[in-house]
Structure 1
């Protein structure tokens, strides 16, 4: 019973960290990366789909993405979706290929992105702590129902605390890496 609760909590903590990783990928650094366009949705025959599902998205060089829609009719739709998105880039269309130059980040913009990254990391830490709280509550309920002893309760709480510390440490490391990549010029 303890192992099931611990495994569930550990899985949920890991998923929180993975979610943070995907959120960090959406925060733009000065370099071109295809995941920047993951949040951009395009109307494709009545349904909203990511750009990557209607076009090839490649990195041409360190500061340029190329987007090549699979259908000629989608070029203007994709271009409009990219321009109206909040990522702050403007595609240059040549035939059916769009080049998206990544403007260098200003110091002010970098600081905004760092602030955003810190808030994402803090939300993840809160989620991890909430998972710990839920697991500890489950352990205490088991103890109250006399399904586990006080010693087992203490061991379980120590085990879940150790897992929490590991995941919070991962979040801190990820944040430090993201801050470093954002401050690179």
Structure 2
């Protein structure tokens, strides 16, 4: 019973860490990264569709991303979606078959803004992990009558270790992303 509660909490915390890392990857650095463009929604025949499902992407140069649509009819829609995407500021052009998106150089001020955004996302992820811990702790407290105080206390200690490990994982990912953002 206690192991079930802990296993569920570990699983949810792991998913929260992965979501945080995914959020971090969507904040741009000085390089063109296909992950930045994956979740841009394109109006594809009236349905908002993620760009990753409509086109292949590769980056031939550090700040340029080449997007090859699977359906050539969606070229203009993809180009429009990239041009209007917030926080990218990409210069977009197409030659009839592929779209080239070039990201401008980041200024020092813009880099600092992105660091603030990443820190806020990291804090949100830590809060979600703490909420998972609180729920698991409540579940463990509910088991006191069935398994006893000592077993619940051991479970809570293990829960604290798991929580600390996951928060540390978010901190590590946050430090890496900050270093990447401030690197010129």
TM range (shorter): over 0.9
**Partner SS state of residue 90, structure 2:** coil
Aligned residue number for residue 148 of structure 2? 149
* TM-superposed deviation, 1:102: 1.6
Q: Compute the displacement of 1:71 (Å).
A: 2.6
Aligned to 1:11: 11
Alignment correspondent of 1:54: 54
Matched position secondary structure for 2:147: coil
Residue 28 of structure 1: aligned partner: 28
2:172 corresponds in structure 1 to 173
Q: Which runs of 5+ in 2 are unaligned?
A: none
* Counterpart Cα distance in 1 of 2:29 and 2:22: 14
Q: TM-score w.r.t. structure 2 length? A: 0.96
* 1:7-156 correspondence to structure 2 within 5 Å: 7-86=7-86, 87-143=88-144, 146-156=145-155
Cα deviations across residues 58-96 of structure 1 (Å, max 9, x unaligned)? Answer: 111111100122233211111111111112212122222
| CA RMSD, 1 decimal | 1.0
Deviations 1:146-184 (A, max 9, x none): 112111111011000000000010010000000000011
CA distance in 2, matches of 1:39, 1:12: 23
Partners in 2 of 1:17 and 1:81 — Cα distance? 29
Structure 1 spans left out of the alignment, 5+ residues: none
In the TM superposition, residue 5 of structure 1 has moved relative to its aligned partner by 0.3
Distance 2:146 2:82 in 1: 57
C-alpha distance in 2 between matches for 1:106 and 1:122 = 25
Pairs aligned (count): 183
Q: Give, in angstroms, the shift of residue 122 of structure 1.
A: 0.5
Normalization by structure 1: what TM-score? 0.95
